[in-house]
Every structure is written in C-alpha cells, then in structure tokens.
Chain A
Amino acid sequence: MADVNRGNRPLSPHLQVYRPQLNMITSILTRITGISLLVGAFLIVWWFIAAASGPEYYAYANAIITSWFGDLVMLGSLWALWYHALAGVRHLVWDTGRGFDLDTVAKMSWGVIVGSFALTVFTIIVI
C-alpha cells in the first residue's frame, strides 16, 4: 500500500513538539506531587515509629525532620499535599462530566495553583 500522504498527516501531540499549556503543566504536576508525597509519607511514618520506640530514637528522628533540610522537605510535602488535593477536586468535577470548556479549565488551573500556595501559607500561619 503506497502511502502518498506520508509526513503530511496530522500527528498526535508529543511532549517534545507540544507547546506547554497551563492545563498540561497543572495536570503533570498532579502526578509529580502525588508520587513525591511518598517522601513525606516515609518521613511521617518514620517519625511515628521513632516515637513508638522510645525517647532516644524519637529525639534523633525528630531532630532530623525538624532540621532546616527536614523543614524544607516537609514544607515541600505540605504544598504538594494541598496541590494534589485541589487538583484532585478538579478531577472529581471532571468525573461528573462538567468543566471541560477551555475557559473553565483555565480558571480551575489558576485556582489550583493559587489555592495550593494560599493553603500552604495559611497552614504555616496556623501551625
């Protein structure tokens, strides 16, 4: 079968030839934050098991988690948690068949980004 139209067909979009869009970036970030939250989960479970095994080990684990680097990781996890939660709400809305027009998608994207930072700052202030 001769394919006379080779090279002139519409190609399916691929990451390397696709102009980055807000919707695409927020969607990829959902996956990245979800997977990265494993780090935070590991640290929190480690903190709990340290607290369960006695004062000395607790002091050791607690010092690492509340060190400047530990704080940085926990802060990142906190933002990732809020981001993933808000992006998850967006998915729950989409699952009902609503919010697929570009205008709403853009609004929800900004909502997720701004909301995740706002909730992170709010959490820091409250805690």
Chain B
Amino acid sequence: MGYMTDRKRAEGLGSAHDGTRHFWSMTVSSVGLLVLVPLFVFTFGPILGAPYEQVSSYFARPFPAIVAALTILVGMMHFKNGVQVAIEDYTDGLTRKVLIIAAICMSYALAATGLFAIARIAL
C-alpha cells in the first residue's frame, strides 16, 4: 500500500469503474486544447471569409491544416467526454443513455467530417 500512488488508489472505484480515466482524459485534452486553441484561432481566423482559391492554397500548407485537424479532433473528443458529464448530471434512465449515445455519435461524425474536409483541401 505504501508504494501506491494517489491515482492508483482511485482507479476502478465508483459505479462506472472508469471515472478516473474519464477525468484524466479531460485533463489531457484540456491541456492539449490550451495549446491548440490559440494556434487555431490565429491561423483560422484570418482566412475565414477569404476567396476560394486563397482558402485552398492556405490549407494546402502543413501548419494551418495540421493545427485545424488536431483542434477539431481533440476538441470533439473533449466535447464528447465533457457533455457526457453534463448529461449524467441532468438526466437518468433511458433518456440518459440515448443522449450519451447521440452525443458520442455526433462528436465522432463532426470530427470525421472535419478531418475528411481538411484532408481533401490539403491533398
């Protein structure tokens, strides 16, 4: 017991048994987004509203494309886990399950659509 860390002691507790992992995934994605969000705001912001040709050539460059792709991917995964907690707080039973499944499907769908679009513009 003396050698166990605080995190190891908490893992597997609670009714769902994976709350620690959920919490940790939110921590990791939030720190990641703290780096990605400013990069995204200041690379995506100036090009929003530009003519089509300019947008295509801009996202053909690696940096803006990779930043946008990562922000959408990490952002949607952060949303998926974050909104699940909100749903669990305010609903129960079948409603809760339906909403959580819908939120997960929508998060992956948005992430996949965004990644596909950026890949298509970039390549």
The verdict on A111 contacting chain B, using a C-beta distance below 8 Å, is no
By the criterion CB–CB under 8 Å, are A48 and B68 in contact? yes
Bound form: Cα–Cα A88–B75 in Å: 13
Give the total number of A-B pairs whose CB atoms are below 8 A apart.
83
By the criterion CB–CB under 8 Å, are B118 and A31 in contact? no
- Contact flags (1/0) for A23-64 with B, using CB distance below 8 Å? 000000001001101100110110111011001001100100
Chain B proximity of A55: nearest CB distance (Å)? 4
The verdict on A105 contacting chain B, using a C-beta distance below 8 Å, is no
Q: Across the two chains, which residue of chain A brings its CB closest to B46? A: A127
- Contact flags (1/0) for B23-49 with A, using CB distance below 8 Å? 000010011011001000110111011
By the criterion CB–CB under 8 Å, are A41 and B34 in contact? no
Interface residues of A, count at CB 8 A: 32
By the criterion CB–CB under 8 Å, are A48 and B117 in contact? yes
Q: Across the two chains, which residue of chain A brings its CB closest to B110? A: A45
Chain B proximity of A45: nearest CB distance (Å)? 4
The verdict on A108 contacting chain B, using a C-beta distance below 8 Å, is no
For A66, list chain B residues within 8 Å (CB).
48-49
Given contacts A81-B37, A95-B27, A47 and B121 within 8 Å (CB-CB): no
For A44, list chain B residues within 8 Å (CB).
44, 72, 114
The verdict on A65 contacting chain B, using a C-beta distance below 8 Å, is yes
For B37, list chain A residues within 8 Å (CB).
81, 85
By the criterion CB–CB under 8 Å, are B48 and A47 in contact? yes
A and B contact pairs by CB, cutoff 8 A, 16 listed:
A31-B86, A34-B79, A34-B82, A41-B72, A42-B110, A45-B117, A48-B113, A48-B114, A48-B117, A48-B118, A51-B56, A52-B120, A66-B49, A78-B41, A127-B41, A127-B45
Please list the residues of chain A having a beta carbon within 8 angstroms of any beta carbon in chain B. Answer: 31, 34-35, 37-38, 41-42, 44-45, 47-49, 51-52, 55, 58-59, 62, 65-66, 74, 78, 81, 85, 88-89, 91-92, 95, 123, 126-127
Q: Please provide the 9 A-B residue pairs with the shortest distance between their CB atoms, ordered closest to farther.
A: A48-B117, A127-B45, A52-B120, A52-B117, A49-B117, A66-B49, A55-B52, A45-B114, A58-B52
